[in-house]
Structure 1
Amino acid sequence: MSVNVLSTPVSDVLFSKQAIWQQIDDFALDALYEEINLDNKPGLVCPSGNGSHSDMNYDTFIASIQSLRGYFATLSAYGHDNKDFDDIKKAGIEQEIKMRQATNNINTHKGAIFNLGFASAAIGKCLQDNQTLTTQNICAQIVESWQYDLTHRLERKADSHGQQMYKKYGVTGAIEMVATGFQIIQNLALPCFYETLYRTQDFEKAAMQTLMTLIASLSDTNLVWRGGMVDLTNAQTMAKQFLQAGGVHQPKWRQAVSTINDYFIHRNLSPGGSADLLAVTIFFYKVENEFNPSV
């Protein structure tokens, strides 16, 4: 479905907009389901285990995702209607409260509320400006519309994990990632996903290859928080070695991932930032291929 709401007959505009907002919402939720259902992710919650987490499990994530329904549609409409940054921020805060109510105050998807929220709002802006829904255009809208607000106006809590890691190690986190337009996704993760999917025709392999590419390259504040810079380096090295050995294209790739998973669990490591960005990558893939079938 490729809909240009600006050239649609007036009587159908409202319906078309609502249909698109709902579709964006579905894609965001689908991307989160795809991420949590990817099994054997190093240190992360998945259907077969809790990874390095003792306070959450697969059911916690499913309840969390269900609590997000409608939020991404709202953010898409906000972007289209040029709502203020403060309105977007308020919607995110309210959604986090709903998420925590669904998870007994466990933070499962705060990153998704932030990352996918701004991506959804940027899609609304793209449609308002009659721009093609490509990842490049969506990310450019984020930078143009909200980079200043994200960089200079968004409160950073001094006691947050991200801010503590920035002060201690100089490692930046989700705010900077979004404010600069998801550069690691545009330049690395999404091309990896497309290439692997084209080569293997296997969504699981494409998702795992992309996750390991992110772990190998991202200064993940979740890893730094749990293990410091030494364990971040070790985690990146293991992911790089996996990729250099062929990644998911090697015959026993699942065994290789399991070995990394065992190490992460032993060291209590969880690459949550990489998992968040995997979900955003899958979301962009879904949007591009629905609205631009030739991509």
Structure 2
Amino acid sequence: MAKPQARVCATQWAEYLANSAVQALLDEVQLTPKPGLVDRRGSGAHSDLTLELMQASAHSLWPTFYQMAIAAQVHPHIDQSLRESMGAIGRLGEAQMLKCTQGVNTHRGAIWALGLLVVAASLAPFTTAQELTERAAQLALIEDRYIPQQGLSNGAKVRQKYAVSGAREQAQQGFPSVHLGLKQLLKSRQQGASEKAARVDALLAIASELADTCVLHRSGLEGLMWMQQQARKVLALGGYSSALGQQQFQQLETGLLARNASPGGAADLLAASLWIDSILPASAQEGSV
């Protein structure tokens, strides 16, 4: 992978960022197994999603990420203009995604998280994951005055009902769950886990702490707390690379399917973690907290 410091012409850098963002979404959906989520085995807890649909959705977002990267080069300052330009591109990208999926929300959260990170990466060179996420957080804190006034989404209703943070706050705080995912990726690799197991462990680490509104919407606070507890148990037993960890993972998956729930928010943030991992060397991620 090219390093961020190896900046080439603007369009080539934008293409690189868009390519790597789409690949991160593909890597996330293809990762198998994932509890309650779409993977190579099937649709998990989702009756309206398939692996093929998720892959098509990821590919449909390439122009969105490319245009966001270009926008950051046209508006090279973290200000209202860049924030609202990104927002307009994101809404068009969401419309294209929904057209591709015939109305199914596949990657709305990923457009927000990866979009912010792509813009942050396109603004100027960076050397660490912390620097990148802090830059994205500054952008997320700026209000977009042109967000359409619509009815509350499922996520917004859940945030109000349970008084929890959502995707917006996660970004404004500098993506702490992404840093958690990166930290677990490195830890599992250093302990000798396979790449697949390390990525499953990263998903579990994110799920163990995130107030995942997808889980809250489908199974309430009890379901969320249960999922977090089970995810922590898998990791405590050695993660997915251990026999005991895999047994506990099966209990986690069985319980989520029984609750018709899946950690979709954690999956979006895993994709963001995999994206940063793909463009930064491990030494630049070790400051992740």
TM-score by length of 1: 0.87
* Structure 1 residue runs of 4 or more that deviate by more than 6 Å after TM superposition: 290-295
The SS at the match of 1:200 is: coil
1:262 and 1:294 mapped to 2: Cα distance?
Answer: 34
Match of 2:78 in 1: none
| Contact residue 220 and residue 272 of structure 1 kept, 8 A | yes
Count of matched residue positions in the alignment of Structure 1 and Structure 2: 281
CA shift in 2, pair 1:2/1:275, >3 Å: closer
CA shift in 2, pair 1:50/1:145, >3 Å: closer
Residue 252 of structure 1 deviates from its aligned partner by 4.7
Residue 156 of structure 1 deviates from its aligned partner by 7.3
1:291 and 1:21 mapped to 2: Cα distance?
Answer: 24
Deviations 1:168-205 (A, max 9, x none): 1101110111122102222x221111121233262211
From the CA coordinates, give the structure whose radius of gyration is larger: 1
Does residue 1:145 correspond to 2:143, yes or no? no
1:256 and 1:279 mapped to 2: Cα distance?
Answer: 23
> Within 5 Å, which residues of 2 pair with 1:195-210?
195-200=187-192, 202-210=194-202
| Contact residue 162 and residue 172 of structure 1 kept, 8 A | no
2:4 and 2:142 mapped to 1: Cα distance?
Answer: 31
Residue 262 of structure 1 deviates from its aligned partner by 1.5
Residue 248 of structure 1 deviates from its aligned partner by 2.2
Does residue 1:227 correspond to 2:225, yes or no? no
Residue 97 of structure 1, aligned match among 95, 106, 118: 95
The range that moved more, 76-85 or 87-96, is: 76-85
Does residue 1:51 correspond to 2:49, yes or no? no
TM-score by length of 2: 0.89
Residue 256 of structure 1 deviates from its aligned partner by 3.0
| Contact residue 140 and residue 171 of structure 2 kept, 8 A | no
Residue 276 of structure 1, aligned match among 268, 274, 283: 268
Deviations 1:48-75 (A, max 9, x none): 1111001111111011111112321221
2:28 and 2:200 mapped to 1: Cα distance?
Answer: 9
2:140 and 2:36 mapped to 1: Cα distance?
Answer: 33
Give the fraction of aligned pairs with identical amino acids, expressed as a percent.
Answer: 26
Residue 293 of structure 1 deviates from its aligned partner by 11
Deviations 1:193-243 (A, max 9, x none): 112123326221111001111111111111111011011111111111111
CA shift in 2, pair 1:73/1:292, >3 Å: farther
Q: How large is the Cα RMSD of the aligned pairs? A: 2.4
Match of 2:281 in 1: 289
> Within 5 Å, which residues of 2 pair with 1:75-224?
75-82=68-75, 83-125=81-123, 127=124, 131-149=125-143, 157-186=150-179, 188-200=180-192, 202-224=194-216
Match of 1:66 in 2: 59
Q: Which has the higher helix share?
A: 1
CA shift in 2, pair 1:198/1:59, >3 Å: same
Deviations 1:111-165 (A, max 9, x none): 111110111001111x2xxx32421111111223341326x88567552112111
Structure 2, unpaired ranges of 5+: 76-80
Match of 2:13 in 1: 20
Deviations 1:61-107 (A, max 9, x none): 01111111232122112122225322111100100111111111100
Residue 278 of structure 1 deviates from its aligned partner by 0.4
| Contact residue 222 and residue 270 of structure 1 kept, 8 A | yes
| Contact residue 71 and residue 95 of structure 1 kept, 8 A | yes
Match of 2:242 in 1: 250
The SS at the match of 2:41 is: coil
